[in-house]
Amino acid sequence: MKIIEVRVDQIHFISDMVRDGEFHSHPGKPHDAKQPMLTIVCDNGIEGHYVGPMVKGVIEGGCSQVLIGEDPLFRERIYRRLLQYQRLQTELNERTLCAIDCALWDIAGKAAGLPVYKLLGAYRDTVPCYGSIMVGDDIKGGLDTPEAYAEYALKLVKQGYKAIKLHTWMPPIIPEPSVDMDLEACKAVREAVGPNIPLMLDPYHYYSREEALRLARGLEKLDFLWLEEPMDEHSASSYKYLTENTKLQICGPETAEGKYMTRADWIRFGSASIGRAGALTCGGLTSLIKCLHLYEANGMSVEMHGNHIANLHLLGATGIDGKYFERGLLHPMLDYEVPKPWFTANYDKMNENGDVIIPQGPGLGYEFNWDYIKNNIVK
């Protein structure tokens, strides 16, 4: 089996999401948008697909030269070559590397006739999840007050969520980040949902050590499960300071570059009490597997970053102590259960127990709306 074609199509759709100046998502006025879709074609007719952020030019340029003519099952060899290419090709970011790697895993699963998590060695068919609430905003009826967070958290519990994570207000929605505002929202949610719903917080990402510690100690009193990325993650020593000075579990790193090598340093330094990794920020499933085994070898639990389909498959393939799949982002003005138009169904369907069902189709298990895709490909 050899790769004969690599292409990135752009799918037109109407988006009701906008990005603020810090690139956080919020509900907004409907507008034209494009969704990239990677297709890797093999000479036996098997195609690997991936939908998500990527740089089209770098895939169809230098990366295609690495891929075309290669056996797609040699994922590790391809991954190593792309890592060398990534050193000088700055446009080959982690998200683009993730797109290629996941499309190759999709091919492998289809060739074997198995979902990826069973190809990896299945452990479970469902995974507990938490409802991940979108970043705070100033929209009436949205997430504009602590009370709004509390009301929405109650709705999520009624929908079946057994745990909830808040993303609180950040610039430019508010002029300055505020530990006090964060704690007000967290207190309101805790009082609303009661003591038996695990709660987590992902706040502003550039607090000082002193601010992060004050936030952590406030969350201790509210019996939160963990805190993630309250400071610049390039400073592992700052996270070591925070971890050593609070009883709250600190979860990280989330977005720091360096894949499994950075996480090895964080483990060595004692910079977090819970590991954190995700396909998008670690460069795909191949890298994510390395991260997971690293945490496992050091006796640490690890929580997956984001609602990525590769994260879901890896959670289905492992018995390591990672409690949740991150489902969302969720907002009171959006219906998360309505699939994107290029899908006929969401890949992270939640059952009546509040667990997410691992996709059962061969490969990644996307359920594509091929009629929509074919009718909406644009240049």
My answer on whether 176 and 259 are in the same domain is yes
Pairing of the two strands 325-330 and 126-135: parallel
Within this chain, do residues 88 and 126 fall inside the same structural domain, yes or no?
A: no
Whether the predicted pLDDT of 233 surpasses 90: yes
pLDDT band at residue 4, thresholds of 50, 70 and 90? very high
Same domain, 23 and 135: no
Q: What CATH number is associated with residue 209?
A: 3.20.20.120
- Mean pLDDT calculated for residue range 156-174: 97
- C-alpha R_g of the chain: 20
- Point out which residues pair with 128 in neighbouring strands: 355
The pLDDT, as a whole number, for residue 322 is: 66
Do both 162 and 236 map to the same domain?
A: yes
Q: What is the pLDDT of residues 332-355, one digit of tens each?
A: 999 999 999 999 999 999 999 999
* End-to-end C-alpha distance for the chain, whole angstroms: 30
Mean pLDDT of 289-300: 96
- Of residues 180, 182, 51, 202, the one with CA closest to residue 131: 202
Q: Flag whether pLDDT at 321 surpasses 80.
A: no
- Is residue 348 domain-shared with residue 371, that is, in the same domain? no
Helix (H, G, I), strand (E, B) or coil at 301: coil
Beta bridge partners of 201: 166, 227
Residue 320 pLDDT > 80, yes or no? no
Q: What is the CATH number of the domain that holds 81?
A: 3.30.390.10
Pairing of strands 275-277, 25-42: unpaired
Residues 194 and 171 in one domain: yes
pLDDT at 109: 98
Beta strands in 157-301 (DSSP E): 164-167, 199-202, 226-228, 249-251, 275-277
> What is the sign, positive or negative, of the torsion defined by CA atoms of 257, 259, 265, 267?
positive
Where in the sequence is the domain holding 130, given as residue range(s)? 118-357
Confidence at residue 323, expressed as pLDDT on a 0 to 100 scale? 81
Q: What is the 3-state secondary structure (H, E, C) of 4-42?
A: EEEEEEEEEEEEEEEECCCCCEEEEEEEEEEEEEEEEEE
279 and 152 in a common domain: yes
- Same-domain check for residues 157 and 302: yes
Total number of domains constituting the chain: 2
Q: Label residue 89 by pLDDT band (50, 70, 90).
A: confident
Q: What is the share, in percent, of the chain residues with pLDDT greater than 70?
A: 99
Please check whether residue 102 is in contact with residue 364, taking contact to mean a CB–CB distance below 8 angstroms.
yes
Same domain, 286 and 273: yes
Beta bridge partners of 5: 41
Domain co-membership, 168 together with 286: yes
Query: Are 18 and 123 in the same domain?
Result: no
pLDDT tens-digit map of 252-283: 999 999 999 999 999 999 999 999 999 999 99
- Reply yes or no on whether the pLDDT at 250 is more than 70: yes
Give the DSSP H or E segment for 289: helix 285-297
Share of the chain above pLDDT 90, in %: 96
Does residue 339 share a domain with residue 374? no
Residue 61 gets which letter from DSSP? I
